[in-house]
Amino acid sequence: MGKHYLLNLYDCSFVLLNDELCLIQLLESAATASGATVVQTISKKFEPQGVTVICLLSESHISIHTWPEEGKAAVDVYTCGDCDPKIGCDMIIEQLHSNNHTLSYIER
Amino acid sequence: MGKHYLLNLYDCSFVLLNDELCLIQLLESAATASGATVVQTISKKFEPQGVTVICLLSESHISIHTWPEEGKAAVDVYTCGDCDPKIGCDMIIEQLHSNNHTLSYIER
């Protein structure tokens, strides 16, 4: 039922992790780079900080939840079909300038 | 960064897995039963069959992707804070009458 990467990011900047628009653009770009099609994107900016972005894809979903005050984010890139979700993970790791991350792969 | 259950369901009925409204109600009920708060729900009915439902929660997200023609569904119940996402998983397993499932737990 697809390829699912669970990516935990640490030591990221507060500003990046709290920028809702930036994170929407990043997730949509990562989905497209993985070969997926974005059907709909929703997001929520929490108070006093923190952002969630979720893209519903034709091929499953991609999501990010951030804790800017701790420099942490949890990302899921889950796709079925011929996509390569690892490409999206690599883009997110690079663009959030994470100094430390864990990446787990699960075949669904 | 929270508790994440990855639930794969097999041998489910075509009709249940292709019922978008039913799946929306099920996911929202499962989220609430887990102690989470639904911020927004989005869904997509695919042609010729298949449904995706994703709820953005105050405490992360819950999602389902279905392949009715194969009797399969992939569910994620991911929550932070004091929620108990296992309760939501049990509700989904029961209400989709799955005869066969796998459940993986990941501490994010």
Are B12 and B3 in contact by the 8 Å Cβ rule? The answer is: no
Q: Which helix (H) or strand (E) holds B55?
A: strand B51-57
Percent of chain B's residues with pLDDT above 70: 100
The ipTM, to two decimals, is 0.95
pLDDT tens digits, B43-96: 999 999 999 999 999 999 999 999 999 999 999 999 999 999 999 999 999 999
Q: Is the pLDDT of residue A62 over 90?
A: yes
Catalytic residue status for B89: no
Q: What is the pLDDT of residue B103?
A: 96
Could A65 and B80 be called an inter-chain contact, meaning their C-beta atoms sit closer than 8 Å? yes
Catalytic residue status for B80: yes
Beta strands in A1-86 (DSSP E): 3-10, 38-45, 51-57, 60-67, 72-79
Interface test with B, best of A44, A76, A104 (most B CBs within 10 A): A76
Are A3 and A61 in contact by the 8 Å Cβ rule? The answer is: no
Q: What is the pLDDT of residue A36?
A: 97
Mean pLDDT calculated for residue range A48-77: 98
pLDDT tens digits, A79-99: 999 999 999 999 999 999 988
Q: Is the pLDDT of residue A37 over 90?
A: yes
